[in-house]
Amino acid sequence: MARKQTLGKTKTKIASREPKGAPSEKRTLQIARAIGLRILAGDYQPGSNIPVEPELCRELGVSRTVLREAINLLTANGMVTPRVKVGTVINPRAQWNFLDPALLDWLLAMGDIGPFLMKLSEFRHALEPAAASLAAVNATFEDFERLHRAYEDMAASTDNLEAWVAADFRFHQAIYLATRNEFFWPVGRLLEPALIAGFRVIGSAHNQQCLPEHRAVRDAIIAREPHRAYQAVVDLMRTSDSDLVQMLAPGKEKAGLAKKGKIGSKSPRAGGIAKAS
């Protein structure tokens, strides 16, 4: 049901024609999103072609220039390949760049995010403990400050879901930055939409805040103990996985995502953490 509503809203939004002149970046993104959602929904199947230019221009109410710019975006994230005398072919999912922020955003817009968030967790299990271990060895004083500030913001935001989610994201991004390894740096940024969605689901449970586990990660990195930092992230993610499974139970996922105001009162797990060194 959520999928149909998403696609319906997309068609409504793109119904009006763009103003004359050069296409705006926003307009191009809207059209790319509209086509991308149709691909994700299965309206256009891998191996098939999207409709020809004149047909899509009429249906979406856009010029060829805007449409071509949108196709360029879809080509860049691997979803389609324009071919001379063949048309624009939809690629197999194995060729899509699922780390592309736009594609991640479209996936989240499709609804049913439980399986997607579990796959994201598997990816993080393979990467984030190693990142924390490297951070414990390579972090600068600036990295320590960034990690500590993010943690303190989490501890101060237990009654505000959106502030909590933003601080939680900054905490994990700080781990990747603290590796001082350029190949780790883009991960937090590229995964931002998915990480924030996951943190919002988990953070909506007031007694599942993981503050002690986050503190353990922070302390191990600042103490420059790589093995301890590695294990601390493993423990944190184990708790997060348990929270995620609980929140994705039937009837809870929708409520968790819809909740915007408070996480709830501070739980016993969170007590006194803000004063930690």
The verdict on 116 and 48 lying in the same domain is no
pLDDT at 111 over 80: no
Cα(130)–Cα(136) distance, integer angstroms: 10
Give domain status of residue 233, yes or no: yes
Q: What is the pLDDT of residue 252?
A: 52
The verdict on 74 and 126 lying in the same domain is no
Total residues found in the chain within this entry: 277
Q: How confident is the model at residue 141 (pLDDT cuts 50, 70, 90)?
A: very high
The verdict on 121 and 249 lying in the same domain is yes
Cα(199)–Cα(172) distance, integer angstroms: 11
pLDDT at 122 over 70: yes
Q: How confident is the model at residue 207 (pLDDT cuts 50, 70, 90)?
A: very low
Give domain status of residue 102, yes or no: no
- CB contact set of 238 (below 8 Å; sequence gap of 6+): none
Residues 118, 244: contact at Cβ < 8 Å? yes
Cα pseudo-dihedral 36, 42, 48, 52, rounded to 10: -50
The verdict on 84 and 146 lying in the same domain is no
Q: What is the pLDDT of residue 246?
A: 78
Q: What is the pLDDT of residue 201?
A: 74
The verdict on 74 and 147 lying in the same domain is no
Q: What is the pLDDT of residue 204?
A: 62
For 89, the domain range is 2-95
pLDDT at 208 over 90: no
pLDDT at 23 over 70: no
DSSP output for 36-67: HHHHHHTSS-TTSBPPPHHHHHHHHT--HHHH
Percentage of the chain with pLDDT > 90? 54
The verdict on 175 and 134 lying in the same domain is yes
Give domain status of residue 196, yes or no: yes
Give domain status of residue 107, yes or no: no
The verdict on 45 and 86 lying in the same domain is yes
The verdict on 152 and 64 lying in the same domain is no
Give domain status of residue 100, yes or no: no
Q: What does pLDDT average to over the chain?
A: 81
Which of 7-11, 180-184, 261-265: highest mean pLDDT? 180-184
What pTM, to 2 d.p., does this model score?
Answer: 0.70
Q: How confident is the model at residue 254 (pLDDT cuts 50, 70, 90)?
A: very low
**Radius of gyration (Cα) for the chain, nearest Å?**
21
The verdict on 63 and 168 lying in the same domain is no
pLDDT at 142 over 90: yes
Pick 194 or 64 by higher pLDDT. Answer: 64
